[in-house]
Amino acid sequence: METDWNWGKLDPSERQIAELLVQGKSNTAICSEVSLSRARVQECIKKIQVKTGTDSTRAAIALLVEERETQTLFRVLDEASDGVAVLQDRLVKFANGALARSLGYDPEEIAGMPFVDLAAPRSSDVQVKRYDQRMKGEPFPGRYVATALCKGGQEKDVIITSGGLIPYRGRPALLAFIVPHLSEE
């Protein structure tokens, strides 16, 4: 199930209870740690389920853990000196600062864009085909040269290396590393 939520959508008491759920605490232990009644804790857990789009506490915990791991991964990837992107549903779900700067964007501008908008017109059909192949688990070159389209309209040859499929918000996403082609440096 796809949701578009994050930890920030939880209010402080829900976030505190979610943290304790992720740690494997029982409802009784949670009640004593947060000084709330069992009914109030259960109410918060139901709100967490609604906000995460899940139908059970177990599913909510799994999504909470995955989201936490994803955020940790993104913090690490954001520090990388090479360009990194996470693609899902043909959209850029994450782009680190190095990739954004190399294409003339801020990371926030790229997030949510169709990835094909970052490919030069002469390269876009191939990019879509390779993305679709990878998402279907079909073989394709793990590393190849492509032409990116920068914010100002200029084209730049890049090397794209697939990092494989990773879980992102409950579904597979493609992790890609993008660096300038040697002829562009």
The confidence score (pLDDT) of residue 58 equals 87
Does 80-184 match 7-72 at the fold level?
no
The class that CATH gives domain 7-72 is: mainly alpha
Q: Are 128 and 108 contacting, i.e. CB atoms less than 8 angstroms apart? A: no
Separation CA 74–CA 72 (nearest Å): 5
Nearest residue to 111 (alpha-carbon basis) of 60, 134, 63, 77? 77
Return left, alpha or beta for 176; rule: phi > 0 is left, psi -120 to 50 is alpha, else beta. beta
pLDDT of residue 176: 93
Q: Where are the domains of the chain?
A: 7-72, 80-184
Residue-level pLDDT at 183: 61
For the domain covering 80-184, report its CATH number. 3.30.450.20
**pTM for the full predicted model:** 0.74
CA distances from 71 to 43, 49, 74, 78 (A): 26, 19, 5, 10
Per-residue pLDDT of the chain (185 residues; tens, 9 = 90+): 344 666 778 888 888 998 899 898 888 899 988 988 989 999 999 988 888 888 888 888 888 888 888 888 888 888 889 999 999 999 999 999 999 999 999 888 999 999 999 999 998 998 999 899 989 988 877 888 999 999 999 999 999 998 889 888 778 999 999 998 876 44
Tell me, what's the pLDDT at 5? 63
Q: Are 87 and 93 in contact (CB under 8 A)?
A: yes
